[in-house]
Structure 1
Amino acid sequence: MSRHPKIHPEAPSARASAPLVPRAASRSEQGDPAKDVLTQRSTYVPLAPPRKRGRSCCCRCVCYTLCLLLLLVVAVGATIGILYLVFKPKLPDYSIDRLQLTQFALNQDSSLSTAFNVTITAKNPNEKIGIYYEDGSKITVWYNETKLSEGSLPKFYQGHENTTVIDVEMSGQTQDAAGIMTTLEEQQQTTGNIPLRLRVDQPVRIKFGKLKLMEVRFLVRCGVFVDSLAPNNVIKIQSSSCKFRLRL
């Protein structure tokens, strides 16, 4: 018999591709170390810098200061409201009753010398409020933008619902007044009157019952139309109106 050649299967190659990392070491107890490294890198969060305590202290101080100011404003507002309800304050009333020109002369150097006597009536209509008229007052007479004379009111106390008549003497000298004299004469001939303005700046202290408040200022502005500016003569007041304003 003929013998067939035996075919022996080829043994597997001994050259197997060995893994770069041993299988036993490729995974840790919690997972793949390569993935763990990537996960740690991707979830890294930088730490915020520590806060400065000085800034927070400053913010707290500002907040406390604002709160104190707010409380102070509320307290002052409440006090003013209570005083208003209890005393029911009313504004004083002023009027110009008499105006006498004792001097009105143009000098050789073109200066104008003037002197006025003014009678002012001041009314305090309040039942529970008194007014202290302090030193440092100023009253002036103006024609257009030119000041003619000035003086001051006396110091006195005006009680509740009181009417006080005040006589004030004023004097002044205006330089380069030749043009003013010409304008006055033309206006008197054209309109038959001369507009004057009286301004009063008076420091006062208000008395609520027995409480005497801080000093404030009364500002009075009066517009007066007179028939003429003849010296040594009582000037006829054709019309007058006064406005009162309070300034702290």
Structure 2
Amino acid sequence: MIAPPPPYVMLEGSSGNNFRPPPYRRNVPRYNSDYKKKSGGRSLCRFICCCYCCLFLVIIILALLVVYFYAVYEPEMPSYKVEKLEVKAFDVQPDFSLNTEFLVTVKADNPNSNIGFIYGKDSSVIVMYTDSNLCTGKLPSFHQGEKNTTIMQVDLKGKSEFGSGLQEAYTVNRDNKRIPLLVKVKVPVSVVVGNFPTRQFVVFVNCSLLVDNLAPNKKISIISSNTTFDLKF
């Protein structure tokens, strides 16, 4: 017995030779979209860790250099002192102005065996009485070597207001032979290690003096003095 042929189904819109089989469909490979994100995150973490390690290494090297410097050179701060004060002029004018001329002797002592100092040009010295500037001047520019003591004489001149209030206060201090003065020094300094000067910084020195008189051409006794200083990098 012969089996009947399979049923034939005619698709709409197809006739004769226009029939084409459906195209072969390929399976498109799928990629995990989280792979790059995870890989990029790990790379960033590694980069940050490397940066921190390099920074930590630099800090250790700098700390070792500082320890080596202090162990080898044993740096000490220089000391400053007003040794002497001379008054050449202290003239009160009829218009309540004051003309002054002082000569201040400053002692700078460098106790270091392997370190020198270069004192720059842009310095200033001011003598004040009760917040009033009496006279101003400048320190000389010079190189101070190792284990050296330098004596500087600084000429100071000025003209300032000297009203009745200041005159009364000065008269009381003069009669008591206890006149307070403040000597303010500002000077740029470079540290010299061997033959190599380092970065320049600014030294501020404040010297509070108590003297017995300010009479011109008369010996002045410094009753007491107190010196403080500060640094600005």
User: Please, what TM-score do these two structures have when normalized by structure 2?
Assistant: 0.74
- Alignment match, 1:214: 199
- Gaps spanning 5+ residues in structure 2: where? 1-32
Of residues 182, 203, 206, the one that matches 2:188 is 203
Cα distance in structure 1, aligned partners of 2:167 and 2:41: 70
Partner residue of 1:95 out of 69, 74, 81: 81
Larger Rg: 1
Partner of 1:234: 219
SS at match of 1:240: strand
| Percent of aligned positions that are identical | 33
- Name the amino acid aligned to 2:196: L
- Matched with 1:84 is 70
Matching residue of 1:9: none
Instruction: Find the counterpart in structure 1 of residue 119 from structure 2.
Output: 133
Is 1:112–1:177's contact at 8 Å kept on the other side of the alignment?
Answer: no
Question: 1: distance between equivalents of 2:145 and 2:204?
Answer: 20
Structure 1 stretch displaced more, 206-215 or 236-245: 236-245
**Shift in alpha-carbon separation, 1:234–1:192, aligned structure 2, 3 A:** closer
Aligned partner of residue 233 in structure 1, secondary structure? coil
Equivalent-residue separation in structure 2 for 1:133 and 1:219 (angstroms)? 12
AA of the residue aligned to 2:168: T
For 1:107, the equivalent position in structure 2 comes to: 93
State the match for 1:144 in structure 2: 130
**Alpha-carbon separation, structure 2, partners of 1:54 and 1:176:** 75
Going from structure 1 to structure 2, the CA distance change for 1:137 and 1:69 (only over 3 Å counts) comes to farther
Offset of 1:57 from its aligned partner?
A: 9.2
Distance 1:182 1:87, change over 3 A: same
- Aligned length, in residue pairs: 200
Shift of 1:62: 7.3
Q: Where do 1:133-172 residues align within 5 Å? A: 133-172=119-158
Q: Is the 8 A contact 1:194 1:227 kept in 2?
A: yes
Change (3 A) 1:199 1:65: farther
Shift of 1:220: 1.4
The 3 A distance-change label for structure 1 pair 67 and 144 is: farther
Change (3 A) 1:207 1:55: same
Letter of the 1:179 counterpart: G
Q: Any conservation in 1 of the 2:92–2:162 contact (CA below 8 Å)?
A: no
70 and 182 in structure 1: CA distance in 2 versus 1, 3 angstrom threshold: farther
Match of 2:172 in 1: 186
Q: 1:247 Cα shift?
A: 2.4
Alpha-carbon separation, structure 1, partners of 2:224 and 2:70:
34
> Does the Cα contact within 8 Å between 2:98 and 2:160 map onto a contact in 1?
yes
- Aligned residues of 1:106 and 1:177 also touching (Cα < 8 A): no
How far, CA to CA, are the matches of 1:59 and 1:177 in structure 2?
71
The aligned amino acid for 2:225 is: S
1:210 and 1:184, CA in 2 relative to 1: closer, same or farther beyond 3 A?
Answer: same
Q: Larger deviation: 79-88 or 121-130?
A: 79-88
* Change in CA separation of 1:63 and 1:183 when aligned onto 2, cut-off 3 Å: farther
Amino acid in the other structure paired with 2:195: K
Query: Residues 209 and 240 (structure 1 numbering): CA distance in 2 closer, same or farther, change over 3 Å?
Result: same
